[in-house]
Amino acid sequence: MTGRFAAGSDLMSVAQALSLLEARLSPAVGTEETGLHHALGRILAEDLVSGVNVPPHDNSAVDGWAFRRADLPADGILPVVGRVAAGHPLEGPLPQGGAVRIFTGAPMPTGADTVAMQEDCKDLGGSVALPAKLAEGDNARAAGEDISKGSVVLHAGTRLRPQELGVAAATGRSSLKVFRPLRAAVFSTGDEIRNPGTELPPGCIFDTNRFTATGLLRALGAEVTDLGILPDRFEVIRDALAEAAASHQLILTSGGVSVGDEDHVKPAVLAQGSLDFWRLAIKPGRPVALGEVKGTPFVGLPGNPVAVMVTFMAIARPMVLRLMGAAQTDLPRYPVEAGFAFRHKPGRREYLRARLAHMDGRLVAAKFPSDGSGVLTSMTWSDGLVDIPEDRGDIAPGEMVEFLSYADMMR
């Protein structure tokens, strides 16, 4: 059975996959108003339009003396007629032919248009000698110079960082309308899988992918329910999927969706929804399973630990962010120098685990020695992935390549 994720049978590029996801997914979460102290990492649900100018008044950019440039005499000396500090404006306009002592951020007196820096002036006690080289407007900041009233300061879909919270506060906002966190369910299947910290019988392995996937989802701001390890029984998996679909907006697992006798995830999904396999032109990785369980999106990532992180980065991450209401899902790409040789056959996009180092002022990527997709320690050794596009051939040392950082992948 096919659903919203149905695609062709040919190998699909990562770019094509992302275009399909963008076209077929929309935010799956509601909105709420939250205070700035609790808005970090949340996604803005509406444009933030400023109701004020920032700064709200003309002000001084430096400590010094404020005056009207046209009043400056040939000898540069003006009488000091007042003092202005931040939060304490001058009462009334600046008297003609006078100067006032002023401090950084203090409001400019009405009539003043220029500020001389204190290090360029000489305090004469009751008067001040000002430099003649100043032009009208020097060292003065205009009201609304940073943000003008009525302008869009932050756009809907923005993931809120500390700097966005500061901008919101500058406009006088104490709370923001944001999307609610995505509720995601994660589980593993397999009679051979065991939880870390428990006994490991012969022929069994500790579960790793569930913890990796849960960490990746939580790093993006999702609220994750860990459904644990489900036994290889169709009825148990079917019922767990149905229960998860009723209270979550995404279900994610890794492995267990092939056609073996003990792979029950696929029929359990099909029993109450749809399932499609996307054959991605990607390495490491294999077909990614995308579907729905009672209308809730389902993602089945590959079973190999490295392939889990790579396909999460390439497909699941933008999918999660899209469901959460984010407008920007692309990862930043950094040009670095290849510190390795690599043979690459065009046709598949390949991601190489790499570590960055500074060498003679250059940023150079060193490649992990093994390309095996089961070597999870390669992900802790590396800082990110070198992205080799489908149409690129062999890589020689010294050539420029694009680098994707793990730090960016988790935000």
The token pair at 260 is 């073996």
Rounded Cα distance, 68 and 136, in Å: 8
Instruction: Please give the pLDDT value at position 11.
Output: 81
Q: CATH assignment of 35-54+153-179?
A: 3.90.105.10
Half-sphere exposure of 350 (CA within 13 A, CB side): 21
Domain residue limits, the chain: 14-30+181-324, 35-54+153-179, 59-141, 333-410
User: Which of 258, 256, 260 lies closest to 227 in space, CA to CA?
Assistant: 256
Instruction: Please give the pLDDT value at position 259.
Output: 52
The token pair at 150 is 């009525």
The token pair at 257 is 């969706």
Instruction: Please give the pLDDT value at position 1.
Output: 55
Give CATH superfamily name and number for 333-410: MoeA, C-terminal, domain IV (2.40.340.10)
User: Which of 329, 291, 259 lies closest to 7 in space, CA to CA?
Assistant: 291
Low-confidence stretches of the chain (pLDDT < 50) are none
Domain spanning 14-30+181-324, CATH architecture: 3-Layer(aba) Sandwich (3.40)
Say if CB 90 and CB 165 are below 8 A apart. no
Say if CB 94 and CB 68 are below 8 A apart. yes
Say if CB 360 and CB 293 are below 8 A apart. no
Rounded Cα distance, 135 and 38, in Å: 45
Measured in degrees and rounded to the nearest 5, phi and psi for residue 407 equal -60, -40
- The 3-state secondary structure of the chain reads CCCCCCCCCCCECHHHHHHHHHHHCCCCCCEEEEEHHHCCCCEECCCEECCCCECCCCEECCCEEEECHHHCCCCCEEEEEEEEECCECCCCCCCCCCEEEECCCCECCCCCCEEEEHHHCEECCCEEECCCCCCCCCCEECCCCCECCCCEEECCCCECCHHHHHHHHHCCCCEEEEECCCEEEEEEECCCEECCCCCCCCCCEECCHHHHHHHHHHHCCCEEEEEEEECCCHHHHHHHHHHHHHHCCEEEEECCCCCCCCCCHHHHHHCCEEEEEECECEECCCCEEEEEECCEEEEEECCCHHHHHHHHHHHHHHHHHHHCCCCCCCCCCEEEEECCCECCCCCCEEEEEEEEEEECCEEEEEECCCCCCCCCHHHHHCCEEEEECCCCCCECCCCEEEEEEHHHHCC
Instruction: Please give the pLDDT value at position 279.
Output: 81
Average pLDDT, the chain: 92
User: Which of 73, 70, 67, 75 lies closest to 102 in space, CA to CA?
Assistant: 67
Rounded Cα distance, 396 and 403, in Å: 16
Instruction: Please give the pLDDT value at position 127.
Output: 97
Asked if domains 35-54+153-179 and 333-410 share a fold, the reply is no
Per-residue pLDDT reduced to its tens digit, 220-273: 999 999 999 998 889 999 999 999 999 999 999 887 665 555 568 888 999 999
| Contacts of residue 169, Cβ cutoff 8 Å, sequence gap at least 6 | 36
Domain spanning 59-141, CATH architecture: Beta Complex (2.170)
Say if CB 192 and CB 203 are below 8 A apart. yes
Instruction: Please give the pLDDT value at position 136.
Output: 96
Per-residue pLDDT reduced to its tens digit, 337-357: 999 999 999 999 999 999 999
The token pair at 65 is 């003396």
